[in-house]
A and B are shown apart, each in its own frame.
Chain A
Amino acid sequence: MEKAEFTLEFEKPLRDLQQRLEALYATSKEQNFDVSAEMEAIEARLEATKRQIYSDLTAWQRVQLARHPKRPYSLDYIGRIFTDFQELHGDRCYGDDQALIGGTAWFEGSPVMIIAQQKGRDVKENLRRNFGMPHPEGYRKALRLMQLAERFNLPVISFIDTKAAFAGIGSEERHVSEAIARNLREMALLKVPSVGLIIGEGGSGGALGIAVVDRLLVQQHAYYSVIPPEGCAAILWRDRSFSEKAANALKLGARELKDQGIADEVLEEPLGGAHRDIEAACETLREALSRNLAELKTLSTEELLERRYQKYRNIGEFIEG
């Protein structure tokens, strides 16, 4: 029997059903009863409850899924979608940031440049990767690699998954703001096609710093926000316990981003989230990436740059009168 874990708070009904199912299975084995009818009934209920819960998630619940400890991270996708990823290290200036990595690989037979924010799976890896929160070195390395891609005409593919750029002394001393700002300007001018994939957390300027792209694809349970809900609650409500309210108010989910004209596409995830079936999640990513890169390749450099400029130029809602 497949053992799926339901660890999030809103997954409690699923957890309960799962436990009943397991208990029943154990009893049937012990006492040699035939409980297959009961088990089938509970399994059907489990499926129905799954469908019901996951099709109607609140913004805050989606933030929980985006941060799920089992959620696939950039390298989980890179290893499955690309061939022979070779990491390129360092910003040639200060250091190598393991929260923001990059390198060359092949996608469907063609070379590409990958830029990726990477979280750690355990404490040791998280210390090395600073919980996926990049320092200025990461952004400067990313720019070096993007400009390298430009010189040799490789499309750039960004995997976005960070809570935020790291807020720390070293980060400020080495001007993370300037590193992000420069990336925004230079990515807008990059003469090669670019696709961004938000696969988990799209945290503010830390995400945007590698996300000025021709096409932005957002996974169904990923989010992209001007500020994490906790930070928003702390500032506007002066109380972090309003995080759920803040998440809803910020309209940070994939569908809302599509409606707001920020996301070009929402990538459907397997029921319950990408971690429940990574191969299926990969297939969706691969298909979308392939199609978008093919479309972008038909554009001339002038068209590409003009469209990218206009895309960002036109974002904003105001009245003039």
Chain B
Amino acid sequence: MPFFSKPTYSTITAPRKKDIPKDLYTRCPKSGELVYSRELKKNWMVVPKSDYHFPLASDLRIQSLIDEGTWEEKDRDLESVDILGFVDKKAYADRLKEYKRKTGLKDAVVSGLGKMAGMGVSLAVMDFRFGGASMGSVVGEKITRAIERAIELKLPVIIVSASGGARMQEGIYSLMQMAKTSAALGRLREAGLPFVSVLTHPTTGGVTASFATLGDVILAEPEALICFAGPRVIKEGTNQELPPGFQKSEFLLDRGLVDQIVHRHQLRPRIIHFLKAFAGKPLEA
């Protein structure tokens, strides 16, 4: 049968809109281009041409940093409780259920032990998908345990932050997690162990004003919003024009808060560089 004999156009029906998976393509907010979502995921959620960094889910973040087959998750059974019986437009208890169902996570931090270039690390990763990774008791507890585990096992700590701020529905308990995590970092420091803090888009509020800015080395992903009070709050509160690039990684590098801005693809080798330096190891080990 001749190869071109079959009239293909007559047998193919155009796919209806609902047949296209909604997330087949993702639009880059920076360049406007459409990127094949599977490619984006393979590229650690960085748009190839524009270098726009999408938020990275905690499982992918861990994969991108930790030596294959060395990850051991800890404290995975910690769950938030609605201690105040907080109800705003929705009940906090219902919000928690919804976050859990949507993400398959129990709260906004995944933590554990793993290796980077063979060196043991205690790693905690915040996952913005879980309620904007706000800090409540579970986030504070898991971060603190990750730090205490590092002290016990004499390991460096790496925390990848992203957070909308405090989890207001946990009231004062939420605020106190700032003190708790920072106090634990005080002990880590006295134990002579390094802390590499990685700031990703967006890192704000109580997380910025506690452990996230206490890194011995602070690395930021490109163009991440990093602030205490958000730009809208400042603009409305002061009636002032905000300087260009205000509160973005590049602005903060210029103003001396972060040590480096690191492309997501370079993050693993860069952290390994610092871990080796602080451990007194040769670069090629």
Interface residues of A (CB under 8 A from B): 165, 167-169, 171-178, 180-182, 184-186, 188-189, 204-205, 208-209, 212, 224-227, 232, 235-238, 242, 245-246, 249-252, 257, 260, 262, 308-309, 312-313, 315-321
Cβ distance B155 to chain A, nearest Cβ, rounded Å: 19
How distant is the Cα of A232 from the Cα of B84 in the complex, in angstroms?
15
Task: Please state if A319 and B81 are interface contacts (CB–CB under 8 Å).
Answer: yes
How distant is the Cα of A313 from the Cα of B180 in the complex, in angstroms?
5
Interface presence of B144 (CB below 8 A)? yes
- Closest B residue to A319 by beta carbon equals B79
Interface presence of B104 (CB below 8 A)? no
Task: Please state if A178 and B213 are interface contacts (CB–CB under 8 Å).
Answer: yes
Partner of B174, one of A189, A226, A312: A226
Residue numbers in A under 8 Å from B180 (CB-CB): 312-313, 315-316
Residue numbers in B under 8 Å from A232 (CB-CB): 168
Task: Please state if B173 and A260 are interface contacts (CB–CB under 8 Å).
Answer: yes
Residue numbers in A under 8 Å from B187 (CB-CB): 309
Cβ distance B36 to chain A, nearest Cβ, rounded Å: 36
Task: Please state if A249 and B228 are interface contacts (CB–CB under 8 Å).
Answer: no
Cβ distance A34 to chain B, nearest Cβ, rounded Å: 55
Task: Please state if B233 and A315 are interface contacts (CB–CB under 8 Å).
Answer: no
Pick the most buried of A169, A172, A245, A260: most chain B CB atoms within 10 A of its CB: A172
Interface presence of B175 (CB below 8 A)? yes
Interface residues of B (CB under 8 A from A): 75, 77-81, 83-84, 86-89, 137-138, 140-141, 144, 166, 168-180, 182-187, 189-190, 205-206, 208-214, 227-229, 233-234, 237-238, 240, 242-243, 246-247, 252, 255-257
How distant is the Cα of A262 from the Cα of B84 in the complex, in angstroms?
14
- Closest B residue to A226 by beta carbon equals B175
Residue numbers in B under 8 Å from A236 (CB-CB): 88-89, 168-169
How distant is the Cα of A317 from the Cα of B137 in the complex, in angstroms?
6
Residue numbers in A under 8 Å from B176 (CB-CB): 208, 262, 312, 315-316
How distant is the Cα of A238 from the Cα of B184 in the complex, in angstroms?
35
Pick the most buried of B79, B144, B183, B227: most chain A CB atoms within 10 A of its CB: B183
Task: Please state if A316 and B141 are interface contacts (CB–CB under 8 Å).
Answer: yes
- Closest A residue to B187 by beta carbon equals A309
A175 and B255 in contact, given A205-B206, A260-B173, A317-B173 (Cβ under 8 angstroms): yes
Partner of B257, one of A165, A167, A178, A313: A178
